[in-house]
Amino acid sequence: MQGIWASGSPEDMLRGALEKAVERGVLLHLKLEQGDAYSLNSESERETVMEQVGRGEVSLADKVVWGEPCVKDERPNIFHLYEENIGLVAPVIADELAEAEKEYPPEWIEDAFKEAVSQNKRSWRYVSRILERWATEGRGVGAPGRLSAKDTGPEKYFRGKYGHLVRK
């Protein structure tokens, strides 16, 4: 209580902070017969409170309105992923990131960054090549750094642009 004291009494400061957290949807305010209680506003916490009320362990003095929690499971955007995994975003790269964000689904971008980090290749060039490969070959085809079976062995010399120049 002394750590949050500024102007006014510490109890008033704490009460104000708790009310703001309730307004934002972070906390639930439960008016119990024994006094006020606060809980995180999550589905599991709401279920726990309802179970306790059902078993008679807790008696509510007033009706509780369950609001949606303010914490949302949002995907980080491409700029956040870049800064988190590679480094500061340079102006030259920012345009490329914006184009990629328009072109590829957010799940692909997030997974491409994960794959690049798992291979310890922390560069936008590597991430963009992963995305390009997924766009052309399909996502989930092959393993990272792979060579398909058709690209190994002597047959690889007979296909392609100069295959007609090679004799079998």
| 30 and 96 share one domain | no
């589905």: which residue's tokens? Answer: 43
How many Cβ atoms from other residues are within 10 Å of residue 36's Cβ? 11
In whole angstroms, give the CA distance from residue 147 to residue 126.
Answer: 17
> Which pLDDT value is given to residue 67?
54
Domain of residue 47: give its range.
Answer: 2-55
- Residue 102's H or E segment, with its range, is helix 91-103
Residue 70, domain member (yes or no): no
């799940």: which residue's tokens? Answer: 107
| 83 and 149 share one domain | yes
Residue 73, domain member (yes or no): no
pLDDT averages per 10-residue partition of the chain, 168 residues: 60 81 82 78 82 78 56 74 91 91 92 93 94 86 54 68 73
Domain boundary pick from 55, 70, 89: 55
Residue 117, domain member (yes or no): yes
Q: What are the φ/ψ torsions at residue 19 (nearest 5 degrees)? A: -65, -40
Side-chain-side CA neighbours of 66 within 13 Å: the count stands at: 9
Residue 23, domain member (yes or no): yes
In whole angstroms, give the CA distance from residue 77 to residue 107.
Answer: 10
Residue 162, domain member (yes or no): no
Number of domains the chain contains: 2
Helix/strand/coil for 47: helix
The DSSP symbol for 56 reads T
Nearest alpha-carbon partner for 109 in 144, 81, 89:
81
Residues 6+ apart with CB under 8 A from 34: 59
Domain with residue 83: its CATH number is: 1.10.10.630
Residue 109, domain member (yes or no): yes
Helix/strand/coil for 139: coil
| 10 and 42 share one domain | yes
Tokens of 37: 């209680």
> Which pLDDT value is given to residue 73?
52
Residue 47, domain member (yes or no): yes
